[in-house]
Amino acid sequence: MKAIPRGAAIYPQHTMDNHLNFLISVCQKLDKGRVHPCIFGGWAEELRELIKPRVHNDIDLLYCANDFLALDKLMSEQPDFIEIPKKHFEHKRAFELNDIMVEITLVRPNLTTTFFGKYDFTWPSDTFAEDISVNNLSLNVSSQAALKHYRENYNRLSYGRATAELIV
């Protein structure tokens, strides 16, 4: 058995397919379905050069809308979007595409999200403000302020996750 060097990251092989072109293709598929995503999480941090390029296990997106009706319709029409029922909440939807999880968090037009039905979160006013040009494409990438504000509140917001997973 081959030893893995100390400190080396171990990633499932499928995460190697989660590269920039894949991220772009996911955003384009959603755009075509009239679901306009905003890149969030690790990919947004990397594109905003807040972190060094790295392997990403998933794709996190924000979706500014009153509800998930358009996304739910799109997921039902796209056979390659395989919904993840354990991630189906009032504030979130998730699906797998090519074995990579895509999580989408709902941000209402008043810039609020209610996590797990009990944790209200207000996003910074510039959350969706600035697109970034990547490979001659304009991508909506969440603001640095939004990324920072979410990270600062992550523990409070994710507390409901453990409770919700016990119920599922």
- pLDDT for residue 15: 52
Distance from CA of residue 31 to its chain's centroid? 15
Q: What is the pLDDT of residues 81-109, one digit of tens each?
A: 999 999 999 999 999 999 999 999 999 99
Q: Which of 50-64, 122-136, 147-161 has the lowest mean pLDDT?
A: 147-161
14-167 in CATH: which number?
A: 3.30.460.40
Find all residues with CB under 8 Å of 11, minimum gap 6, and list them: 55, 57
pLDDT-derived band at 161 (thresholds 50, 70, 90) equals: low
Q: What is the pLDDT of residues 124-141, one digit of tens each?
A: 999 998 899 888 889 999
Q: How many CB atoms lie within 10 A of CB 93?
A: 23
Domain ranges of the chain: 14-167
Nearest to 55 by CA among 39, 38, 42: 42
Residue 6 CA to residue 21 CA, distance in Å, equals 30
Task: Using a pLDDT cut of 90, give the percent of the chain over it.
Answer: 70
Task: List residues bridging with 39 in a β-sheet.
Answer: 61, 141
Mean pLDDT (whole number) for 36-52: 95
Q: What is the pLDDT of residues 1-37, one digit of tens each?
A: 333 233 334 344 455 578 999 999 999 999 999 999 9
If you count them, how many residues does the chain have?
Answer: 168
**pTM: predicted TM-score of the whole model, two decimal places:** 0.85
Q: Do residues 149 and 111 lie in contact, with contact meaning Cβ atoms separated by under 8 Å?
A: no
pLDDT-derived band at 159 (thresholds 50, 70, 90) equals: low
Q: Do residues 153 and 50 lie in contact, with contact meaning Cβ atoms separated by under 8 Å?
A: no
Q: Do residues 54 and 46 lie in contact, with contact meaning Cβ atoms separated by under 8 Å?
A: yes
Helices (H), 13-143: 20-32, 41-47, 69-77
